[in-house]
Structure 1
Amino acid sequence: MLSSDKPIDCNFGVIAIVGMGGLGKTTLAWEVDNDKELKRLKFEKKAWISISNNFDIMRTSKSVLESINHSFSGLNSSNKVQDKLKEEIRGRKFLLVLDLVWNENYSLWETFKSSFKDCARGSKIIVTTRFEKVALTMRSFETHKLNGLLDEECWNLFLEHAPSIGMDIDALGKFRESVVKKCGGLPLAAKTLDGLLHYEQRVNAWENILNSKLWDSSSRNDILPVLRLSYLHLPPHLKRCFAHCAVFPKDYEIDEKKLELLWLGEDIIQQSRDLSSLSNVTILKLENCNNCGSFPSLWMLSSLKDLTIEGMKRLEKIDVEMPLKPLEVLRFQNLQEWQCWNTKRENEDVETFPLLRELSIVKCPKLTRALPYCLPSLERLFIQKCSELTASIPSVPSLCRLEINDCKEVVCRSTISTEFQ
């Protein structure tokens, strides 16, 4: 696939993998991307980007740039991002995978691909998509159309992990036609249905699942019915775990430890020996959890010293119900809906942030409530672009640097050496 030397008009060629959801397009692209043969082809730069139905040129270009050079993660201008991407790609042979592309707008594609025009010859872009029109839009020189499994292949895949006890082979065979029909030739459906039925030993349980009305609920943009059924048949505690993943935006690469912390904070899971290492976490950054509407509980992080909360679009209120004694650095950035920071506690004699040295609040335009009343160890305070914030800052004997920009009002009640900007 990647070694093809078919004549093309530019230095890179587009290879499209086309097929309906569940056929294995992403799996095939992953196999190609990890093939040992790539070493022989000597690609200097590689990146894998998930696109889905929102083909945003700025976001996609920035994701490519950050994948091949992490030092450019702070760029926010579309022109700067594309210029830097051109520099990184110029004269180099690259392999880019664009997974799950829906864009059929030719002008968007032309603008995006302009960053790659000066790459080395032999570069490749692999595109996975459900629709052949996307492949035509992106002018693919090679298109691979994936077909569904034959009935026999689908049944054999299902049987690979079929229950070995509790149901004889004759009883199992009675469901063959129904299973094959429900899977529709999709490997993902066959594997998921197998997992759903694997531990069901009762014939009536199989009948209930295979006759569910949810099988008729699919549409062009919908998830596979078998995935819905798989979720609905989870135990309640696992449903909560999966439902909580909705706080992350689509195609977000979820960090395992971050998700673990959120589950712990919401009391969805309990601490065990395997999770005892969480008490050793000293730095935590929660970024772009767009559906998260509440501040996570951090009681498990008894050693946390550095905390950053950034880009939570639905976060309106922050309640700190217990003291964060070890915390030394606290940053709030780009919280567009944050209005209130409540640090009042039942026992006013116990300080919430006794060791906090640095506090930064940037781009929180709706924040109006005051800052914590007592910050005895605060040395640096940065407040920028918080146009509604009126804050009283008493009891800060250690403060030696104060930077304020684009805020409504800040009242200082202690004697400090300050710098205003």
Structure 2
Amino acid sequence: MEGSIEDIIVSLHVPVLLDKLSSKALRDLGSVWCAQSELRALSDVLGKIKKLLKFAEEAQARNILVKDCLRNLREVAYRAEDILDEFIYEACYEKDERYGGGKVRLHFPSILKADGLLRKQEIGPLINDELIKKLEEIEKEVKRYYVSESSGNQKSQHGGGVIDDILDTRPKSDSLVDKSLTLGRKEDVEAIKNKLLSSNPNENQKQVFVIAIVGLGGVGKTTLAQLVYNDPDVKEHFERRAWVCVSTDFNAVSLISAILESLNGRNPDLRNLDPLKCQLRKELGGKRVLIIIDDVWTEKKRDWEPLRVALMEAGEGSRIIVTTRSKRVSSMMQPMYTHDLVLSDEECWLIMERHISLNYGSIAPSLEEVGRKIARKCKRLPLAASTVAGYIFQKQRLIQLWSAEGFIRTDKAGAQYFDELLQRSFFQHYNGYMYRFVMHDLIHDLAEAVSGDVYGRFDYRKSSHSSKETRYSSMCCLNSIKDHLDHKKSYAEIRELPRGMKYLRNLQHLDLYGCRKLLSMPQGIGRLSSPKTLSIKNFGGWDERGDKDVEVLESLQPHPDQLRSLGIYKYSGLTFPRWLMIDLPSYNKLVTLELSVCNECQGLPPIGELPLLENLFLRDMKKLEEWSSSSCRGEESADEFPSLRNLYIEDCPELRILPQPLLSSPRLCELHFRRCPELWMLPTHAGGGLSRLTSLKNLCLGKKMEGLVQFLDETDNLPPYLNRLYIDDCKSLPKGLRNLSSLQHLILDPDCKAHYSPEELLINVIVKKGYYWEE
């Protein structure tokens, strides 16, 4: 039987099941319902299977029977997840006194039994028959394949455990290039040639300078490196040249051996690093060399260090070119120049035209227009957001979905995974926006293809289907999305929420953004103990005068134990309710706070007393004049804002004063001001403007902030380690920019009229014009 083309991944699901089995709720249930031995046995067999999963998931590509085992295992894992979730619910019900001894019960019919009722005496047999027996059969079968394969290939066995070797089947590149198939690269070649043939940027520093070519797979990084490597001017300039392709095997021993073989045509046949380094240094002997290292994946600096040291004997003007998909790899190698490789529409069309012509002859004029449209869709490979159909998403929302599936244990881990995918161009920023992302259509189509029937997507543009294996589904209604974006028609018609929501003990994120017809919240909603996010906008109980807003928001008081993010929008009360003004410090796990379009409020809660607050957004607060971090208490403390990292203040036209402790925040690294025209000076008794913000790296002075720019110019008080500065408009640049040794980027609005001389800036500062959302 022919299997499906996708790899079947179960290693994400088994740890989730083991976590649930170790939960206190299930342990208690096992004790009360006499199912301890069954739950323990289930945990044991899952633990054994977990040890074999790495082998099975790698072996499925070469053994269709292993893939069948994995498919069966996935079905049982899904069934186990359903069973354990229902058990956990029953366990919570048993312990929860709020149900009043069975008088009031939020009851979900059991999906495990045909009659909808789950009885205690049925739990043991259910776990044994539905899960343990099937898992034991699968475990035996996978182990049999493992023993068979490992005995036939002893090299791939490590310590009697799991096969860890992954054969690198990626094709290796070489230095030869077919120039007839390379189009649209003239400017890229010239840009890199200029860096190759230029003198060292620092004559006193003896090192081989690195040039990085960065871009998504298939965009032409290797081809560009081949063109440069074989350019006549480059050949004449360098005394020695070498080309090596590393892919996933970035090993100092094998890499230096490959360089030596490329330089002199002989394999050194040495296996120890030290003699290899000595031979390479002897081979270089002060000669000006060019080394291409193609397809670098490693992000470990220690892998790069031995080669860097060995190359120090190369002559002045020597260069290394690395090609990589990862910007993090490029950064690790500290390049003198990074070339981000993209394709223009015309270049993409020329490449398509050449391939079509080679295969099918001349192109009919009527088809050229269609071809050019396809070229625009494929633009840059990391696609411009305007050509992406749908799929605009926020980082935090995707992390929440990962967490709901049990793929990650903490939001911090989710953020690390997301950033990794962003670095590799799996995701891209949407139109330059900092907090919105898109996925390239080609990447999405690939993900959809390999996900098989487990993930079903229903799209009005094409026929869709589901199968018995479909477990997740999504619906794409782009017409509705387009109508909303074009005509401001995502608001929901929800008028009330289920009364039983107060019993959802694991509910972590409650997003009611845009539910303006929602009249009230269920009684007792404040007793939820797990919420991390509560987002409300246009709440229907609120009126334009704000008479009821305080009362409504007071009734929405969330439980303080787990709240991580809070956003309040279009609130018209004159002041915030007690739980914000008095009790806010008790929300000591709050990380993100946003107050937007609170036009009548003249004061703020004691925000500075939140110990873990990292992100603060204040937007559209028309009557806010003074901000004292502890305004309710009439005092300020130097210990306030201990964790604040990102601060955005926008559209606060009356704001004149900031709290003094804010300008001493030890971790503040990003600060944005926009359209706050009255905020033209800062508390100087804080130590002088912004000079005490020693962690601040990014500063944005947006529209209508000319007064603050002038203040900073007059006082010469800028953050000492500033890396990036954006200025919307000013007549002259602030003094002291030349003293900022860490400043690398100065971005001016395209309409900025500031004039400056090169003497005002350090030589390494990049000055360009653009908009703040593009940074």
For the pair shown, which has the larger CA radius of gyration, 1 or 2?
Answer: 2
Larger fraction in helix? 2
- Whether TM-score is above 0.5 comes out as no
Q: Which has the higher contact order (CA 8 A, sep 6+)?
A: 1
